[in-house]
Structure 1
Amino acid sequence: MLVLVCYDVSTESREGRRRLRRVARVCEGIGQRVQKSVFECQLDIAKFEALERALLAEIDPKADCLRLYRIPQTRGFEVLEHGAFVAVDFDGPLVL
């Protein structure tokens, strides 16, 4: 399934800036950044649950916001892209 991870971490304090870096590092290890605080990840349910646990361990629920969108692979699903960023097609052929 495709998972969108969106977060808004309060950076008003030094600890908040540290949390922001840690949240980004967790996401970079599992998906691709499509905007500054948005990642796309291709995950199975076990990896999704592990990602959710890792992110919840990093954020401060009183100051930060974390949203995880699970998008099942359905017929007709598509992502429309506009602008300079070109996403990696994980389902396409691998060319080296």
Structure 2
Amino acid sequence: MLYILITYDINTTSLNGQARLRKVAKVCINYGQRVQNSVFECKVNEAQYRELQHKLLKIIDKNVDSLRFYRLGENYDKKVKHIGAKQTYKVDDPMIL
């Protein structure tokens, strides 16, 4: 499994940009958890990672938007320090809905 951090900056000065922002967030939420407004932590396999990238690249406008993908590695939880509000769950922990 890969631990990926996805960040994005979508130009929302137009209605199309606002729609792209919602679409990007909707795709990302299907693969991980939102940890900040435009930041998601995801645990995916290689196929899911390629699929996720492909879906996001079809949405964004490369001339005005940007995406960043960070591979956090195996011990991601030791590399991330969280301070403040909006606590998150560990990606590997069971989730009760």
Q: TM-score, normalised by structure 1?
A: 0.89
Could you say which residue in structure 2 is the equivalent of 1:90?
91
Q: How does 1:1-96 map to 2 (within 5 A)?
A: 1-74=2-75, 77-94=78-95
Q: Tell me the C-alpha RMSD between the 2 structures.
A: 1.9
SS at structure 2 position matched to 1:88: coil
SS in 1 for 2:79: coil
Deviations 1:3-52 (A, max 9, x none): 01100000011111111111011011111000000000011111111000
How many Å apart are 1:85 and its aligned residue? 1.6
Please, which runs of 5 or more residues in structure 2 have no aligned partner? none
**Structure 1: gaps spanning 5 or more residues:** none
> What is the one-letter code of the residue matched to 2:55?
A
Q: Counterparts of 1:74 and 1:2 in 2: how far apart (Å)?
A: 9
C-alpha distance in structure 2 between counterparts of 1:55 and 1:75, whole Å: 23
Gap change, CA 1:25 and 1:94, over 3 Å in 2: closer
Asked if the contact 2:4/2:69 (under 8 Å) is kept, the reply is: yes
Structure 1, residues 47-94: CA drift from partner, whole Å, max 9, x if none? Answer: 111000000000000010110111221498432110012111122355
